Amino acid sequence: MDKISYENRYNDVFTFTKLENGDVLWEGNFKWCRFAWPNVYDRAYEAYRKDGGDMHIEEFKNAVHEYDNEKSEYTPLAKQYSKLVYSDTKKISMVDPSGGPYITEGQMLSHIIGGDEMNVIVESFEPVETGYLIKTKPHEYDPNDMSHLEDRNIIGGII
């Protein structure tokens, strides 16, 4: 099992132990900590579509939270549908102990805490007695894939 220690800005030390199944056990002091739960848009988006809306779900997820700074109020769409958005409190999507590290779903864990052995994508968190079990999935990539360099409109292209 691979293990990494991480010291945050308040000198708290957290340990990250990669388990055989690929998940990571995160242990340390979580006395002062923020959490987040993912928003669920299903009901709001369904109501929006039934009312004739044609935005794609990803665009809707932004629009349902829009605030009009000039009028100092939420947009009509946000007023109508935001009350149908709720948090899935059964799934933790972000953990941020005071002083760090801030870790959220979708991040590559090695980009936060270092260590090539932690090249996994964070999917969710489960509380355990000593901290959190970080549920992960493998980071799948082809090291020989250079297709991102083919865009010749960016500074004349690279290849």
pLDDT in tens, 97-136: 999 999 999 999 999 999 888 999 999 999 999 999 999 9
Tell me: do 29 and 43 sit in the same domain. Answer: no
The CA distance from 6 to 12, in Å, is: 8
Tell me: do 26 and 10 sit in the same domain. Answer: yes
Tell me: do 31 and 44 sit in the same domain. Answer: no
The CA distance from 158 to 144, in Å, is: 15
Domain-embedded: residue 145: no
Tell me what pLDDT residue 60 has. 98
Tell me: do 115 and 43 sit in the same domain. Answer: no
Domain-embedded: residue 30: yes
State how many domains the chain has.
2
Tell me: do 58 and 134 sit in the same domain. Answer: no
Domain-embedded: residue 8: yes
pLDDT for 42-84, tens place per residue? 999 999 999 999 999 999 999 999 999 999 999 999 999 999 9
pLDDT for 140-150, tens place per residue? 877 777 776 66
Q: What's the domain range around 25?
A: 3-36+92-138
